[in-house]
Structure 1
Amino acid sequence: MGRGPRAAEAGGMSMRLIRSLWWSARTDGDAPFDTAHLKVYYPAIASGDDAERLTGVFAPDPADAPYPVVLLLSGVNVGQDSYRRFATALAESGFAVVTFDRVAELFGGQRGLTPGVDLAAARPDAYGTRPTCPTIPALLDAVAALNETEPLRGALDLDRVALGGHSAGGTVVLQSARFFPSVRAVFAWGAHTMVATMLGWDPGTVLPAQVECPVLLGVGTNDGVIRGSADRYGEGEDRPDPVARTFAEALPDGDHLLAVVPGANHFGIADADPTAARAFLDGPAEADALAPFARLTSLFLRTHLRDSATAREELAGFDDGLLLERR
């Protein structure tokens, strides 16, 4: 077995070998709804030895190690395998990417897949005092444990972390990132910081993002899930785009990007499961968002987690069918 060529410096797609492994982490909540099951994607090297053949476990590629860590938080009732292609693309550009499934309480006593949301932390009397996602510190602890365990011992850079998310996962990332000093970049697809009126906020309120690092926001023009959720925020479907409002109103001064993909929908970076979540609300997928947004995200992360001059230059001139706004 041979090893494919390594990814380009700027984070372009490659034939780099990516493998994954499983882990678990205790989170908040009562058993049995207190466990996250993690999948960790990482650049690997094939030795062809008997242990590899019999176990399926591959050692991490020492090139470019230790690898910065990307925690990817899913939307509600969206399984982590829905993000396998996106996570693999990021790993190919030199990152260890962590996804997870966590079944816990949603709203009104329902149970389902959730990134974990502390609703009390999102109310007017508490917002900005603590993370709205208590799962994040549990994930960071799990990654630290993995870095002490074979085969990933010493292969993870715990001081260079990115938080990413889709839909609700992106929202809690935007509401939580600044509370974790190792987080150096944030990205989200189909996510905003507009807050539900049921939590005590006025209609149309966009909360300030809790970030102190560069942010990349992505959205498709056919996002039917965001459009179909307008009444949660006391608005109609003809309101201004909440993602664009978040970019303009919620972020502090910094090196931020907004990427709009014409014709893409809410599940543009994921493989939607028609039996779960709210994909039935979504608009048509008239354009591919996964490939160009993965390339853009890879450049963004290599710029801000690896301080790559080449990636920064390519990011400045990026043009792959996306409409980019910078601030």
Structure 2
Amino acid sequence: MSGLIRSLWWSARTDGTAPFDTAHLKVYYPAIAEGTDAERLTGVFAPDPAGAPYPVVVFLSGVNVGQEAYRRFATAVAETGFVVVTLDRVAELFGGQQGLTPGVDLDAARPDAYGTRPTCPTIGAVLSALTELNEQPPLRGALDLDRVALGGHSAGGTVVLQSARYFPAVAAVFAWGAHTMVATMLGWPAGTVLPAQVSCPVLLGVGGNDGVIRGSADRYGEDGDDRPDPVRRTFTEALPDGDHLLALIPGANHFGIADADPTAARAFLDGPADTDALGPFAALTSIFLRAHLRGEVAAKAELAAFDATTMRLTRR
């Protein structure tokens, strides 16, 4: 592959009432520069045929975190042989508020419904839109939609963990700063960790200075200063038996893999970023995806021997 990553835009019609029913996608892909007039005039580059068709990674943002915050992370993963899709979707959050959201079916997260359907119907809408994109230039045939990974940050990671098994093509899941602890406002007892709806390997990442998770403890009926880490609890209590990894990066914070926007979301709650998590976690994510999405024997060996000097790895 050339090492060149380009991106293009697409849209997906989702649930909701117009105009709050559309997700705008940014699709990062390995490209090749041919020096044509078409490239010069349009800025559109063809996909690199060397690794096509490419497995697809759909990444869901945290609440009120724009997809551009994940550009560096998405590019780093795409450089290792994947098409990476991020998205922005403005819709109802809760209490009548509107904002950027991966799209959550709150009723699907209540005690009488959890485990019967995805909590994030947006995932299916995005996968359908990518099927359309894969049928026309410039990416015609370049996306392998039979090999899909779901990833997410914060609430985006939570809904991925709650939804993945309902999409048969999903072969790997990863998340940063996400857990399956559920809010008491939905009718669950305090401190409840829901079983993840996954049937594939999972990689969870978290920073040791995650102030946003700590600052959200009261949502779950807990004291943020005196409780077990919800991400570790998710790893030990919520995942089925399987080939799973937990990566703790000391000194990293909740926005460790993103470029936080100080005017939006809840970065003001976060702890200090004493360590840059983006590079190490992107590298680990890429190896994880190469092993479990591409099925590379060499990647499985790399994963087993991964240099964890910047993080603490726990395996299951």
TM-score range, shorter chain: over 0.9
Matched with 1:12 is: none
Q: Equivalent residue for 1:176?
A: 163
**Residue deviations 1:270-316, cap 9 Å, x none?**
00000000000000000010000000000000001111111111111
Note the 1:135-214 alignment, pairs <5 A: 135-214=122-201
AA aligned opposite 1:298: S
> Cα deviations across residues 138-176 of structure 1 (Å, max 9, x unaligned)?
000011011001000000001000000000000000000
Query: 1: distance between equivalents of 2:306 and 2:272?
Result: 25
What do residues 95-150 of structure 1 show as CA deviations (whole Å, max 9, x unaligned)? 00000000000010000000000000000000000000010000000110110010
SS of alignment partner, residue 63 of structure 1: helix
What residue is the counterpart of 1:303 in the other structure? 291
Which consecutive unaligned segments of at least 5 residues does structure 2 have? none
Of the three residues 97, 107, 112, the one matched with 2:99 is 112
**Counterpart for residue 326 of structure 1:** 315
- Gaps of at least 5 residues in structure 1 are 7-15
Match of 1:228 among 196, 199, 215: 215
Matched, 1:70 2:60: no
- The share of aligned pairs that are identical, in percent, is 82
Looking at structure 2, the residues matched to 52 and 263 of structure 1 have their Cα atoms a distance apart, in angstroms, of 43
Q: What amino acid is the match of 2:280?
A: P
Find the aligned partners of 1:98 and 1:164 in 2 and give their Cα distance: 10
Which of 102, 106, 112 is matched with 2:89 structurally? 102
Residue of structure 1 aligned with 2:111, choices 98, 101, 124: 124
- Which secondary structure does the structure 2 equivalent of 1:272 belong to? coil
Count how many residue pairs are aligned between Structure 1 and Structure 2.
Answer: 314
- The correspondence for 2:279, drawn from 285, 288, 291, is 291
Structure 2 residue identity aligned to 1:253? D
TM normalised by structure 1 equals: 0.95
- Give the corresponding residue for 1:59: 46
Structure 1 runs (4+) greater than 4 angstroms displaced = none
Other structure's SS at 2:50 match: coil
Residue of structure 2 in register with 1:93 after alignment: 80
Q: Distance in 1 between matches of 2:136 and 2:42?
A: 16
RMSD: 0.6
| Post-superposition offset of 1:42 | 0.1
Code of the aligned partner of 1:300 = F
